Amino acid sequence: GAGVGGVGEAASGTLGEFAPEGRVDAGSASGLVSVTGDSSNALLAAARELVAADTNAIFGGAGNKLLQLAHGRADVALMHFGTSLWDTCAPEAVLAARGGRVTDLFGAPLVHDADSPAGLINRLGVLATAPAVAHMHDELCARMRADARLLALLEDMGSATEGPAGAQAVDVSRCLSGAPLSRAWIEEAMCPPAAGEAEPAHRLASYSAPEADAVRGLMSEACRLELEWAVNPDAKPGAASVPPPPASAFYKRIAMSELEHARLKARTAPLKLARDTRSYAVEATFLGSAACEALVNAGVPVARAYAVDLRPCAADPLESRFGLLLEEFRREDGWSQHWLCNAAQARAALAGLAKLHAFFWEGSKFWAEAEGGGEGAAACEELTAAVWPSGAYWQPSMQPAEQLTELVAKHWPEHARNFAEAFAQSPMLEGVDVGTLGARLQAVAPQVGAESHPFGSTGKGAPGMKTLIHGDPKAANIFLRETATGEVQVGLIDLQWCGFGLAATDVAHHIVAGTATDCLSVDGSTESALLDHYHAELMAALVSLGGFSPERAAKLLPRDVLEEQYENAVLDMARVVFAYQWARVKASPATLAKNAPSMGRNSYNKSVEHACWLVGTTDRVLKRREARGAGQAA
Annotated binding site: 87
Distance CA 455, CA 453 (A): 6
Are residues 519 and 475 in contact, defined by beta-carbon separation less than 8 angstroms?
no
Nearest to 501 by CA among 453, 573, 538: 453
Which residues are known binding-site members for Mg(2+)? Answer: 87
Give the side-chain half-sphere CA count within 13 A for 24.
27
Provide long-range contacts, Cβ within 8 A and 24+ apart, for 515-519. 515/340, 515/341, 515/342, 515/343, 515/346, 515/475, 515/603, 516/340, 516/341, 516/342, 516/343, 516/346, 517/609, 517/610, 517/613, 518/342, 518/343, 519/341, 519/342, 519/343, 519/346
Measured CA angle at 305 (ends 259, 367), to 5 deg: 115
CB-based contacts of 631, cutoff 8 Å, min separation 6: none
Q: How far apart are the first and last CA of the chain?
A: 76
Segments of 408-519 assigned E as strands: 467-469, 478-482, 488-492, 499-501
| DSSP helix, strand, coil percent of the chain (3-state; round to 5) | 50, 15, 35
Measured CA angle at 360 (ends 357, 363), to 5 deg: 120
Q: What is the DSSP string of 426-457?
A: -GGGTT--HHHHHHHHHHHHHHHHHHH-TTST
Provide long-range contacts, Cβ within 8 A and 24+ apart, for 283-288. 283/324, 283/494, 283/495, 283/496, 283/498, 284/308, 284/310, 284/322, 284/324, 285/310, 285/385, 285/386, 285/387, 286/383, 286/386, 286/387, 286/495, 286/498, 287/324, 287/326, 287/495
DSSP H/E element including 359: helix 343-359
Nearest to 179 by CA among 89, 119, 232, 262: 119
Using left for φ > 0, alpha for ψ between -120 and 50, and beta otherwise, residue 374 falls in left
- Distance from the Cα of residue 483 to its chain's centroid: 28
Measured CA angle at 453 (ends 450, 457), to 5 deg: 70
Q: How many residues does the chain have?
A: 634
